[in-house]
Amino acid sequence: MRAFLVVVTLIVMAIAAPRVAAQKVELSIDASKPGAKIDRNLFGQFAEHLGHGIYDGIWVGSDSTIPNTRGIRNDVVTALKAIHVPNVRWPGGCFADGYHWRDGIGPQRVVRLNPDWGGVIESNTFGTHEFMDFIDQIGSEAYVSVNLGSGSPQEAADWLEYMTAAQATTLEKERAANWHPAPYKVAWLGLGNESWDCGGNMTPEYYLDRMKSFSHFVRNYNPAQTEKNQMLKIAVGPGGGEQRWTDWTETVMKAYQQHTWSWDINGLSMHSYTVVKWPPAFKSVGFGEDEYAQIIKTTLDMDDLIKKHSAIMDKYDPQKKVALVVDEWGSWYAPLPGSNLGFLVQQNSMRDAVLAALNLNIFARHADRVRGANIAQMINVLQAMILTDHEKMVLTPTYYVYKMYVPFQDSTFVPVTFDAGSYKHGDFTLPRIDAMAAKSKDGKVWVEITNVDPHQPAEVELNVSGINAKSASGETLTAPKVDSVNTFEAPNTVVPKPISARAQGGKLILQLEPKSVTVVSVEQ
């Protein structure tokens, strides 16, 4: 009898419970007006010698019991192949400006300490050949950052010759003796990292002098990269929006405008983490709506930051030859309790999925200037795609956003208009909805819609002009709570599920859950 009463009470409560009405949103897409190309390199990754980002995350060694190919984890490779990683930035970060490439080649590696990240032993077991093997296994390209801080132009020039020479130079022969006769492709070259801080605390003028010299002497000799597919050189750029950073952009871009044949750059890097304040204090798991709203509000500042630096770049490079490359971005929270503080270990929640989608959409809207971005960092560090613990591996909510966004790689931006509405929490007022659309190479229209509101569902009415839209389907990512995470024990708490639109009166209607990221393709 008692059980019966409980069931009846529950049914009555469910019927009487206030249903949160779906917010109606009209979204218009003009598929006949394609804009800039959304470069696949906006979906780049960053892997630094930091914590368990490389060792354990990628590299376990060939004698490990963890299934591997020449020392590189098979599970991680399979997962990364599925998100079509366009490039991986390596070996840092701050680590790059203390890295000496000779330590990491040949049978005898030089063992050092990693002073930037926890002062731990750096075995250099993972060096140039292992990185290139990894890149090859996941089907990606190399973005190598050379040591402009403590190294010399000659050291960097030798590294590039070692990696890329096809003719029988001493360095080419040394590479061949290390089992790689064919030259490697280096798609991107970072000329230092944060040279205004951990990269050597330089003034913009001093950096510029050094950078010009590196730009001239560090050459790529790969015959496949001399005419077409030339290596892109990325100079250090700003790390924020204050005058110190606008001065930096001014100095580098003004010099670029007058550059001669003897030096050149193809990109200016920008670093911007979502952190609210230093040192990072926000929890990555076990937080509430206050922290959700504040982090999302802060992450949206990326748009203004890009506008600010793009405006300076436009003055000196109106043809937009130099790309703005946001090669470090993502959430940076307090280290997980009990972890090594220098390893930057954090969990990854539904909030990070929303944050990732909002930033990727911002980059896409600036695709004419922003042609590269690398989330920090790929595995086990900061806003990671993948977390590992010995033989265990789990894919994060951010990983799934990257997977859902694969169709946007090298697609063409299509304008979307909508009334975002607002989500209010305490002192925070944020746009409730964000959206982005693009046409993939096969002519398909893809639409992404983020519902930032953690409580209210949204009913989206899609009007697609320029094509005869009949239906739309794809995937949606949501979770029970904003701080829901995937763990080794419960890996499927935040995973995408199928979604499709219902056709109604010539329009397509999509029902979006609160705090969700959705990607659909429109069928004609």
What residue is closest to ligand AHR based on CB?
93
**Residue 291 or 327 having the CB closest to ligand AHR:** 327
Minimal distance in Å, beta carbon 455 to ligand AHR? 33
Please, what is the minimum distance in Å from the beta carbon of residue 384 to ligand AHR? 11
Helix (H) or strand (E) holding 133: helix 128-138
Binding mask 96-135 for ligand AHR (x = CB under 6 A): ----------------------------------------
The interface with ligand AHR within residues 151-180 (CB under 6 A) comprises: none
> What is the per-residue DSSP string for 84-127?
T--EEEES-SGGGGG--GGGGSSSSPPPEEETTTTTEEE---S-
Q: Which of 328, 453, 483, 513 binds ligand AHR (CB under 6 A)?
A: 328
Smallest gap from residue 87 Cβ to ligand AHR (A): 16
Distance, CA of 130 to CA of 110 (rounded, Å): 15
d(CA 492, CA 475) in angstroms, rounded, equals 15
User: Of 194 and 291, which CB lies nearer to ligand AHR in the complex structure?
Assistant: 194
DSSP string, 146-186: E--SSS-HHHHHHHHHHHH--S--HHHHHHHHTT--SPPP-
3-state secondary structure of 188: strand
Q: Which is nearer to ligand AHR, 184 or 196 (CB)?
A: 196
User: Which residue of the set 141, 328, 448, 513 is catalytic?
Assistant: 328
Enumerate residues 44-103 that contact ligand AHR by CB under 6 A: 48, 92-94
Query: Which residue, among 49, 135, 157, has the nearest Cα to 86 in the 3D structure?
Result: 135
| Three-state secondary-structure class, residue 206 | helix
Pick between residue 193 and residue 299 the one whose CB is nearest to ligand AHR: 193
**CB of 191 vs ligand AHR, minimal distance in Å:** 14
Among 45, 128, 147, 193, binds ligand AHR (CB under 6 A): 193
What phi and psi values does residue 129 have, to the nearest 5 degrees? -65, -40
Among 376, 462, 501, 522, binds ligand AHR (CB under 6 A): 376
Length of the chain: 524
The answer to whether 194 is a known catalytic residue is yes
From candidates 56, 161, 194, 291, binder to ligand AHR by CB under 6 A: 194
Judged on CB neighbours under 10 Å (0-12, 13-18, 19+), 66 is middle
Residue partners of 22: CB distance under 8 A and separation at least 6: 456, 457, 458, 459, 511, 512
Which C-beta is closer to ligand AHR: that of 162 or that of 188?
188
Residues 428-467: x where in contact with ligand AHR by CB under 6 A, - otherwise, as a string:
----------------------------------------
Least distance from ligand AHR to the Cβ atom of residue 492, Å:
28
Kindly list the distances between the CA atom of residue 122 and the CA atoms of 70, 125, 165, 260, in Å, as whole numbers in the listed order: 19, 8, 28, 40
Catalytic site residue from 161, 194, 250, 291: 194
Nearer to ligand AHR, 87 or 451 (CB): 87
CB of 267 to ligand AHR, least distance (A): 16
Q: How far is the CB of 377 from ligand AHR (least distance, A)?
A: 6
Nearer to ligand AHR, 192 or 457 (CB): 192
Contact 128, 105 (CB under 8 A): yes
Total chain residues near ligand AHR (CB under 6 A):
10
Output 381 or 485, the one with its CB closest to ligand AHR. Answer: 381
Measured from the CB of residue 240, what is the shortest distance to ligand AHR in angstroms?
A: 11
Instruction: Measure the CA–CA gap between 26 and 454, rounded to whole angstroms.
Output: 20
Does the active-site annotation cover 48?
Answer: no
Q: Which residues between 230 and 289 bind ligand AHR (CB under 6 A)?
A: none
Q: Which two tokens stand for residue 515?
A: 């705090």
User: Mapping DSSP to helix (H, G, I), strand (E, B) and coil, where does residue 279 land?
Assistant: coil
Contact 214, 156 (CB under 8 A): yes
Report CA 381 to chain centroid distance, whole Å.
12
The residues annotated as belonging to the active site are 194, 328
Site residues for ligand AHR per CB under 6 A: 48, 92-94, 193-194, 328, 376-377, 382
